[in-house]
Chains A and B, each alone.
Chain A
Amino acid sequence: KNEVEQSPQNLTAQEGEFITINCSYSVGISALHWLQQHPGGGIVSLFMLSSGKKKHGRLIATINIQEKHSSLHITASHPRDSAVYICAAAKTGNQFYFGTGTSLTVIP
């Protein structure tokens, strides 16, 4: 059983739709990270959360520590948002447990 579970695994949306990706974890964490990985492999860090909610542009990330659950929301989705989104639970420092990722395709 993975320490970090993401859903859905694949997601196709029409441009402009509101998107939600969910992450549940079973380990004690110091922080929860949302990452974006584009084809070719490069990973970009989107958010680091230890409580509450963070917003950056059209991206919003929330975390519920008691329920061990986090969500990543994308408002007004755009084709350039197409990527794999990975949830990663940081147990200590850079020692992450990664989810398997959610592959998002936004259709114009």
Chain B
Amino acid sequence: DAGVTQSPTHLIKTRGQHVTLRCSPISGHKSVSWYQQVLGQGPQFIFQYYEKEERGRGNFPDRFSARQFPNYSSELNVNALLLGDSALYLCASSPDAGGAYGYTFGSGTRLTVV
């Protein structure tokens, strides 16, 4: 069984560029959440999507956006990259929006902005 798949695993971008990160949830999971983990800190919640609708948004600027596709995969987009956007971006999926049946994290995409 494939777990939560994130791509790419590593990425280097230049300040001001745009980036798209992708997440494929476990088959049958309809909820996807995104988190940013800056080095040395705990993850911070960015977005939750369920059934293609945004269910929650953390305290991130409008440069961050996301969407969920009919197959429940998701993209996280970040515009006008700043050096401070360098982080590990984690995706988690769960069968439902409430997380009552548990969830699974992907291995993350490590973004470096130079």
Contacts and interface: CB of A to CB of B under 8 A. Distances in A.
Interface residues of B, number: 31
B37 A95 contact: no
Nearest to B107: A42
Nearest to A84: B42
Contact of A95 (B33, B40, B88, B104): B33
A94 B94 contact: yes
B20 to A, nearest CB: 19
B102 to A, nearest CB: 6
Q: Which range holds the interface residue count of chain A?
A: 20 to 34
Interface in B49-78: 50, 55-56, 58
A90 B44 contact: no
Contact of B98 (A43, A44, A92): A92
A42 B92 CA distance: 11
Interface stretch (A12-20, A55-63, A74-82, A98-106): A98-106
Contacts of A40: 107
Given A41-B110, A45-B102, A93 B97 contact: yes
Nearest to B3: A42
A95 B42 contact: no
B99 interface: yes
Interface in B73-114: 88, 90, 92, 94, 96-99, 102-108, 110
Interface of A: 4, 30-31, 35, 40-45, 48, 86, 88, 90, 92-101
Interface of B: 31, 33, 35, 37, 40-45, 48, 50, 55-56, 58, 88, 90, 92, 94, 96-99, 102-108, 110
